[in-house]
Structure formats: structure tokens, C-alpha cells
Structure 1
Amino acid sequence: MKANLYPIKFHPILKDKLWGGDKLKTLLNKDCHLPNIGESWEISDVEGDTSLVANGSLENQSLKHLLSTYKADLIGEKNYKQFGNTFPLLIKFIDAKEDLSIQLHPNDELAAKRHNSFGKTEMWYVMQADPGSNLIVGFNQEMTSETYLKHLNEKTLPSILNFDEVNTGDTYFIDVGRIHAIGAGVLLAEIQQTSDITYRVYDWDRLDDKGQSRELHNDLAIDAFNFNMPDNFRVAYSKAENQSNNMVSCPYFTTNYLKITKPLKIENIYDSFMIYMCVNGEATITGPNFQEFFKTGETILVPAMIKTFEITSKNATLLEVYV
């Protein structure tokens, strides 16, 4: 079904979290009165949290409705054949005022069997980090299930984890089965499969606002671990201006770094939607029948049927995502 689709913004779905802060309000201009906003779900098709359009003639229509109406025009032929009326990615901004729990995610096979869900392969791009802030990714030594369980039971798990101090622009690929956590003071963009399945294995012995410990999922998690993963989670990438610089390519998504200082013509050759997350600055997307402005902390979805368009900016940093 051909339609006059255009670059789409969605209303952010804001999540109050025990560990959340105020950077999504102060740095990314999210309109929210919750005290501890941990996450802004920019584009979501997770059940119960489906994004609603915020701009243009499709305003207030759901992403689910757009998919069922526009199908391949929205997400591309191959994506529609594979995913049908489910959008394959969940796009977020995350602000950690405190450390998140130590966790990992199951692969597609395990997630389908246990939760009727996709797995949760994801990546992080650090937008801002307070001095000394860390991401926890992987172990600081070779690991076996026996050694891991010994430290878990003795409450010495942090001693075997890998802590990386991070700065703006640092990028990490978090494969399924790898232990990880976002540390206090980090604001980041997260691109992941459409899944909300997380196995929490350690939560720093803290209590929630009702004085309760949060649920742990260690019985489920032990089968989801991959203890033989190489330390290849840090992503090196080019920052050449006015071109797409590949950061991550995996079966679930491709993400490129795009620093724009002059008008840049984009040709969509991927048979996919294209997503642009503005992680710094401001930009305008222009085509034959549309012009859409977006700025730091905003995300825009360009439907697959739009094959050529121009992005204009004097100094914007964007993450370009497609499947």
C-alpha cells in the first residue's frame, strides 16, 4: 500500500526507575515530572508500550497501527517478511544516576522458548559521562560457571567484573549471554532488539522505595550465560565528517556514526527503515514533500519507501540505524 509517508517522530515513553536521574530532563529536554527518569523509549513496539506518532498527519496513531497499515512501505520488504506487524528494534536513551543491576539477556532461542520473545542483543553509545563513571561489561579474568557461582554465592561478584571508565563517544556492543551493567553517572543511547527480557543477577544489595529487594533471576540466568566470549565488546569506529561510519553490524541491526557539518544527501539502498538518533546538535531532514527538524535527544524514523532525502546541519552528531 503506497502512502504519503514522511519522517516520523514519536512521543517518548518515559520510565521512572530506582536508579534514574534528571539528565533526560536537563540534557535531553524530556518533558516529565517523574523524580527519577531512567529511560526514554523513543521507538517501541514492546507489548503495553507501543509508541504513538508525535508529528504530522499520522499524529497519535500507534506504531503497531502504522505497521499493519503500511507494512513494507514502512519497514522494507525483507523486514516485513521476517517480522510482520512487529517492529524489530527498541530505541532508548538511558540515564543512570545510580548503578544499574548486574544483568544479562537471553538469546533468541532461549527467549522464544521461555518468554515468547526475541532475544536482546544491544549496543550502547555514551552521550555524556560524569568524571570517573564506568560501564561494566564482561569479566576481568577467564571465567567458568563454577567460579562465577562461587563469587555470586559469596557476594563477591563485583570483584570479578570488568569496569571500564568511559567518556562521550565510547561505544559498546553487548551480545546476548554477556554480563553487563550501566554505571552511575552515564547517559547513553541504546539500540536493541524488541525485547524487555532481562535476567538480573546482582543488585548491590539495595532496597526499593518499599524497603524490598528487587527480584533476581539467577536460576534463569545461568543457562543464558556464554562464559567463552572474547573481549571484543569495545567498538572502534571512524569519525570522518559527512559520511556514514560503521560502528556495529550484526544480524539484528546496523548502526553508523554520522557527523554532519554541511548538507548531506542520503540514499536508502537497504530495503529498510532508517532511524536517526540525534546525540548532539540539531539537524533538518528534507525531501520532496516534507521537512522535519530534530535536535539533541530526539529520534526520527524515515520509512523504507523514502529512498532519497537530505540531512542539513552545521554541527550535528547522529546515530544512523537500519536492519
Structure 2
Amino acid sequence: MELYPIKFEPLYKYRLWGGEKLKTHLNKDYNEESIGESWEISDVKGDETKVLKGALKGQTLKQLIQTYKGAFVGESVYKTFGEDFPLLIKFIDAKTPLSIQVHPSNELAKERHNSFGKNEMWYVMQADKDAELIVGFESEIDKEEYLKQLEEDTILNVMHHETVAQGDTFYIPTGRIHAIGAGVLLAEIQQTSDVTYRIYDYNRVDVTTGKERELHNELALDAIDFKYFDNFKTDYKKEVNTSNILVHSPYFKTNFIKVEGEITKDYTKLDSFVIYMCVSGALEIESNNEKYTLKIGETILLPAAIDNVKISSNKAEFLEIYY
């Protein structure tokens, strides 16, 4: 059977910090309250997304890779990851701040959790006035000073707080302390991993359990990268109708595309699946004489076997992601 561009049925996740923007801004369809995350494409065990429509409807990523192998993910990707899909794609809405947290490296995650590490990136889609992200440390700090601030409940004072706006992008390598602040809606691309070490959670009580959430400070200590950087935000171009490099890492590559009119994409030389996340407006994708619409808040996966697509829109912005 000929592979086609695939949309998956999102998985909606309750979070104590979740709001309503996934519904009000991205037109997601759910009835629950405090939904903080929409998992668009996931191979996390127990949280596998399923194909939304077409001849492959109902199949998981694992089943698709088992059947189509390199034709689905790319020969080199299949050789590296086998039947495991390497990326987890999300939209996140933080009504209140997320915990201060850090992710372990590939080596630590493998040793402790038999998991990938969690290198990730954020693309801000909407931010309320004065909304901020926390990324890294505000100044040089060593382990002893960090532990002192933690013990004295002043850890927020040594974090780097950055006010953000639509289009701001941050790469979060493993080891970098971070948190999404209140009022931020963003797209997140990450390795397939659900391992997070919470460092500080504002002494909040989760109404669903009546308890404060667990912290993982002992595990986190070995995972934290204490290096200081004077700039955490990603600079990138926004040229129209071209792939502008956004974040290229060993774990995923993401480009920013602003389309006005019509463009064609030739992936003949790319040995990978491609994912589009629409972050503004709406666009139409044509593949093998079939047309697919993609609106803000929607995600679509192009199997590696698809070499050429035509994209058209009056005005839209989307992220182009591949391995």
C-alpha cells in the first residue's frame, strides 16, 4: 500500500498547571479541564498515538514501523532506532508555571530508566503580557551554592528568567535547568522520553491527589549542567518560502517555514520522515495528487517514502522537523 501524509489522534494530558488555550487558541476538541499537553505524535509506552484517518486508521507508530520499516522512518533512522520512533511531538499550555526541572542525558537515562535522554526545544506560539520562561542560571554557580539556594527555598533567585513573545525559540539540552512560565503556549519537540526530574514545584498541592508532587533532587544533582551562558534564545531568519534553520541538534532538526503562495519541497536526498507542525494560519499539502489541510495546532507526518510535496497558503507558518 502506498504511504500517505498521516495525522494522528492527539492524546490530551491533565496537568495541574494546564489551562484552556489548547482549546481556545488551537481548536483542540476535549471536555476535560486543566489539559496542559496535547501529545501529537508519541511512541511512549502506554501513550502511543494512533492514525486518525485513511487506510492506516487506528495503527500506532510501532505498527507502522514494523510494517514499513525504512520506507516509513528512513533507512538510516530504522538502522539506528529499529522499531522505536525517536521523537515526541507536543503542544503545551501553561496557565500556571511548570515545576523547575531538568532532564537526564542519554547515558544517565539509559542506566537509570532504560530510556532515551530528553533533549528538547520550545517554539513559543503565544504568550501573555510579561509571560516568561526559565532557562539555565542567571550567573555562574557551583554545586555547593546551588544546594544552599535549594535548601533556603530561594532557588528561583538564581534561575535565568526571560520574558518571551511569539516566535521565540529555545533549545533545552539535557542537563539545562528550565521551566515554562504562566501564560505561555508553545510547540515542543523532544526525544521520545518521559523522564523528568523535578527540582522545585512552588510547594503546590495537586487537587487530584491532595498532595505535593514528588521532587527528585538527589537524582537531579548528577544530571545538572552548571555551565553558565550569556544567551539562551535561538536566533534565526524568517525568510519567506524557504526552510530557515531553527534548531539543528544530533537528536532532531527543526526549520521554520513561512509560506506565502506556493512552494515545493523535494525530500529525495533526505533519509528521514518529516513532521510539519502548523504554528500560524493554515496551509494545504499536495502529495500524489491528494490534498491535505493543516491548520494552526495541527501536526502531520510525511513518511520517508514521500519525496515531493507541494505546499500552498495565503499566509502560514510551520515547523519542519526531521531526524
TM-score with structure 2 setting the length:
0.98
User: Post-superposition shift, 1:56?
Assistant: 1.2
Q: For each residue in 1:191-247, what CA deviation from the matched residue of structure 2 results, as whole angstroms up to 9, or x when unmatched?
A: 000000000000011111033110000010000011125345310000000000001
Tell me which amino acid in the other structure corresponds to 1:201: I
Answer yes or no: is the 8 Å Cα contact 1:178–1:229 preserved in 2: no
Give the gaps of 5 or more residues in structure 1.
none
Paired position in structure 2 for 1:228: 227
Paired position in structure 1 for 2:10: 12
Answer yes or no: is the 8 Å Cα contact 1:89–1:193 preserved in 2: yes
Asked whether 1:139 is paired with 2:137, we answer yes
Asked whether 1:296 is paired with 2:296, we answer yes
**2-side partners of 1:169 and 1:99: how far apart?**
19
Paired position in structure 2 for 1:285: 285
1:73 pairs, out of 66, 71, 85, with: 71
Q: State how many pairs are aligned.
A: 321
Matches within 5 A, 1:50-61: 50-61=48-59
Paired position in structure 1 for 2:43: 45
TM-score with structure 1 setting the length:
0.98
User: Post-superposition shift, 1:291?
Assistant: 1.5
Of Structure 1 and Structure 2, the greater strand share is in 2
Answer yes or no: is the 8 Å Cα contact 1:138–1:231 preserved in 2: no
Answer yes or no: is the 8 Å Cα contact 1:21–1:96 preserved in 2: yes
User: Post-superposition shift, 1:290?
Assistant: 2.3
Tell me which amino acid in the other structure corresponds to 2:307: K
- Which consecutive aligned stretches of 4+ in structure 1 deviate over 2 angstroms post-superposition? 229-233
User: Post-superposition shift, 1:122?
Assistant: 0.2
Q: For each residue in 1:135-171, what CA deviation from the matched residue of structure 2 results, as whole angstroms up to 9, or x when unmatched?
A: 0001111011111000001100011111000000000
**2-side partners of 1:68 and 1:211: how far apart?**
42
Q: For each residue in 1:222-279, what CA deviation from the matched residue of structure 2 results, as whole angstroms up to 9, or x when unmatched?
A: 0001112534531000000000000111100000000000111001122000000000
1:117 pairs, out of 112, 115, 118, with: 115
Give the gaps of 5 or more residues in structure 2.
none
User: Post-superposition shift, 1:289?
Assistant: 4.0
Answer yes or no: is the 8 Å Cα contact 1:15–1:39 preserved in 2: yes
Paired position in structure 2 for 1:241: 240
**1-side partners of 2:219 and 2:308: how far apart?**
46
Asked whether 1:262 is paired with 2:252, we answer no
**1-side partners of 2:73 and 2:225: how far apart?**
32
Asked whether 1:276 is paired with 2:283, we answer no
3-state SS, counterpart of residue 309 of structure 1:
strand
Paired position in structure 2 for 1:250: 249
Q: For each residue in 1:81-102, what CA deviation from the matched residue of structure 2 results, as whole angstroms up to 9, or x when unmatched?
A: 0001010000000000000000
Answer yes or no: is the 8 Å Cα contact 1:102–1:200 preserved in 2: yes
Tell me which amino acid in the other structure corresponds to 1:174: I
Tell me which amino acid in the other structure corresponds to 1:282: A
**1-side partners of 2:317 and 2:39: how far apart?**
20
Tell me which amino acid in the other structure corresponds to 2:151: N
User: Post-superposition shift, 1:55?
Assistant: 1.9
**1-side partners of 2:190 and 2:141: how far apart?**
26
